[in-house]
Amino acid sequence: MVTLKPDKYYHIFNHAIGNRDIFKTEKNYNSFLRKYEKYISPVAATMAFCLLKDHFHLLIRVKDLENISDVSKAFKKLFKSYTKAINRETGRKEKIFDTHFKPKRVSKNKRIQATFNFIHLNPIFHELCEYPGEWKYSSFNAYIENKDTTFVCIVDGKKWFVNLKNIVSNLLQGKVNHLIDTF
């Protein structure tokens, strides 16, 4: 397991067990985001996020904390709380997420940029939309509107967004092929 360190960037990814969905309704997406804000915002700054039906991607920077294990605990609380809410809603008692919290350290600016781009372009890769701004369960529009949301820290992410804007512009003009291969 990766040891989290203050002021370092991490790509967080998780997906549903089997072919199930994590998010089935708009209410599910919004519930997850509210819980994310509650549990994760105190321990990490979010640069990018994208929630898809069966998985999600996050790019976070861990805050400078006295107890770094608080980050792992916060993610466990998030997953447990969301699972509990979904089970209550569906009358089931089962796991939703395939794996436990497994962060991947992203240390070089080029890799942070690639991860930032990949997260925002993910709905296009999965053919859910043609333009990232069409997918509302992503941080892309926070950057387009140039305003921090309750948990997306665009001040930190702006330096990577300039490059993403160029990629999206080329994408819309049909000039970008196989973007996923670069990730």
The CATH number of the domain where 108 resides is what? 3.30.70.1290
Whether 156 contacts 61, CB under 8 Å: yes
Q: Count up the domains in the chain and report the number.
A: 1
Is residue 1 in some structural domain? no
Q: What is the pLDDT of residue 159?
A: 73
For 56-77, what is the mean pLDDT?
Answer: 88
pLDDT at 179 over 60: no
Q: What is the pLDDT of residue 176?
A: 46
For 2-12, what is the mean pLDDT?
Answer: 88
Whether 35 contacts 123, CB under 8 Å: no
Is residue 62 in some structural domain? yes
Is residue 47 in some structural domain? yes
Range of the domain at 156: 9-182
Nearest CA among 94, 77, 95 for reference residue 37: 77
Is residue 87 in some structural domain? yes
Q: What is the pLDDT of residue 29?
A: 96
Give one DSSP letter per residue of 100-163, joined into a string. ---EEEE-SHHHHHHHHHHHHHHHHHTTS-SSGGG-SSBSHHHHHTT---SSB-HHHHHHHHHH
Q: What is the pLDDT of residue 181?
A: 45
Is residue 3 in some structural domain? no
Is residue 4 in some structural domain? no
